């Protein structure tokens, strides 16, 4: 483990991605403190070494770093109001691993600063599979010295860690990542539609293109991370991501509509794309 003065790390948000992140932190040698709304969430930690805290306030009093991996910025601010902000120790670093807006990253920083605490916005990319493999990509925004201090924590679950700039820069980078991902889905869908019109099998075409220079992570997610069983869920989540993108970009005054429209087209194309790939699999088995 890289040298750091951080010893105790609090974690809130033991979901699909957060659970393996918390386990990685403990396995890296940090003392892990956790709080969860539901006791069943703690059971999923299994034999991971951790200290359960009965309240958000109790966790805040114990930790050098507090990692938040919750669904939305709204959830972040609710946790602050539940006692996290009131009980946090001066010098503690609050790390937001969720996807949100740069404006809310600044708001979080201001609120924490009022209590003597520091913040980083460090959304991660890769999903549960990458979290389990400790190969997430972390995109960090905030004070660079604070980032360097916390880097050993991020290294426990990340393969690639990028310092993007001041507060909010991590959230900008994650929003651009998500926008580019769904634009790639649109391009894949249009290309495979053309391949079918030319008489090609879409599944075989996709597999062939994965081995060529056109490869992208968007291709690799089809029928692996995104399947017929969960495509509706991914469509909903990606739609939320693009709503955040529109919110953030609308505040900049920059031209963003073309990227947004291409992204929405990619999200809408996903169910039909997954269905076509699986229909061809059934037909040729």
pLDDT in tens, 65-84: 999 999 999 999 999 999 99
Distance (Å, rounded) from C-alpha 77 to C-alpha 84?
Answer: 9
Residue 219: the pLDDT is 97
Class of the CATH domain delimited by 8-166: alpha beta
Tell me the torsion sign for CA atoms 54, 57, 62, 65.
positive
Residue 14: the pLDDT is 96
Which regions of the chain carry the CATH code 1.10.1040?
172-284
Distance (Å, rounded) from C-alpha 129 to C-alpha 143?
Answer: 29
CATH number of 172-284: 1.10.1040
Tell me the torsion sign for CA atoms 213, 215, 216, 218.
positive
Distance (Å, rounded) from C-alpha 264 to C-alpha 226?
Answer: 17
- Flag whether pLDDT at 89 surpasses 50: yes
Q: How confident is the model at residue 279 (pLDDT cuts 50, 70, 90)?
A: confident
What does the mean pLDDT of the chain come to?
Answer: 95
User: Percentage of residues in the chain with pLDDT exceeding 90?
Assistant: 93
- Section 219-226 average pLDDT: 94
User: Percentage of residues in the chain with pLDDT exceeding 70?
Assistant: 97
Distance (Å, rounded) from C-alpha 212 to C-alpha 207?
Answer: 9
pTM of the model: 0.93
Residue 39: the pLDDT is 82
User: Could you read off the pLDDT of 53-63 as tens digits, one per residue?
Assistant: 999 999 999 99
CA 155 vs. chain centroid, Å, equals 15
Placement of tokens 């990692």 in the chain: 67
Residue 284: the pLDDT is 46
177-181 contacts at long range (C-beta below 8 A, 24 or more positions apart): 177/125, 177/139, 178/99, 178/238, 178/241, 178/242, 178/245, 178/263, 179/241, 179/242, 179/245, 179/259, 179/260, 179/263, 181/217, 181/218, 181/238, 181/266
Q: How confident is the model at residue 211 (pLDDT cuts 50, 70, 90)?
A: very high
- Section 24-39 average pLDDT: 95
Which regions of the chain carry the CATH code 3.40.50.720?
8-166
User: Could you read off the pLDDT of 93-129 as tens digits, one per residue?
Assistant: 999 999 999 999 999 999 999 999 999 999 999 999 9
More confident residue, 2 or 256: 256
Residue 66: the pLDDT is 98
- Flag whether pLDDT at 144 surpasses 70: yes
């Amino acid at each position: 483990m890289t040298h750091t003065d951080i010893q105790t790390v609090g974690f809130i948000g033991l979901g699909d991605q957060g659970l393996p992140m918390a386990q990685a932190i403990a396995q890296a040698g940090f003392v892990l403190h956790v709080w969860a709304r539901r006791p069943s969430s703690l059971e999923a930690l299994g034999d991971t070494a951790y200290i359960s805290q009965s309240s958000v306030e109790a966790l805040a009093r114990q930790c050098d770093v507090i990692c938040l991996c919750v669904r939305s910025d709204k959830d972040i601010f609710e946790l602050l109001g539940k006692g996290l902000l009131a009980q946090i120790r001066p010098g503690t670093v609050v790390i937001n691993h969720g996807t949100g807006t740069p404006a809310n990253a600044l708001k979080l920083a201001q609120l924490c600063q009022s209590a003597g605490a520091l913040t980083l916005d460090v959304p991660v990319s890769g999903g549960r599979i990458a979290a389990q493999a400790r190969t997430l990509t972390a995109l960090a925004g905030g004070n660079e010295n604070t980032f360097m201090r916390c880097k050993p924590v991020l290294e426990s679950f990340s393969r690639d860690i990028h310092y993007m700039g001041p507060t909010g820069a991590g959230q900008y980078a994650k929003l651009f990542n998500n926008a580019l991902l769904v634009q790639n889905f649109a391009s894949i869908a249009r290309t495979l539609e053309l391949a079918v019109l030319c008489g090609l099998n879409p599944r075989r075409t996709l597999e062939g293109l994965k081995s060529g220079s056109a490869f992208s992570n968007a291709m690799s997610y089809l029928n692996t991370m995104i399947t017929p069983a969960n495509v509706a869920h991914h469509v909903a989540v990606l739609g939320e991501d693009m709503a955040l993108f529109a919110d953030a970009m609308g505040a900049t005054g920059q031209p963003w509509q073309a990227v947004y429209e291409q992204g929405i087209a990619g999200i809408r194309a996903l169910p039909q794309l997954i269905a076509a790939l699986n229909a061809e699999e059934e037909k040729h088995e």
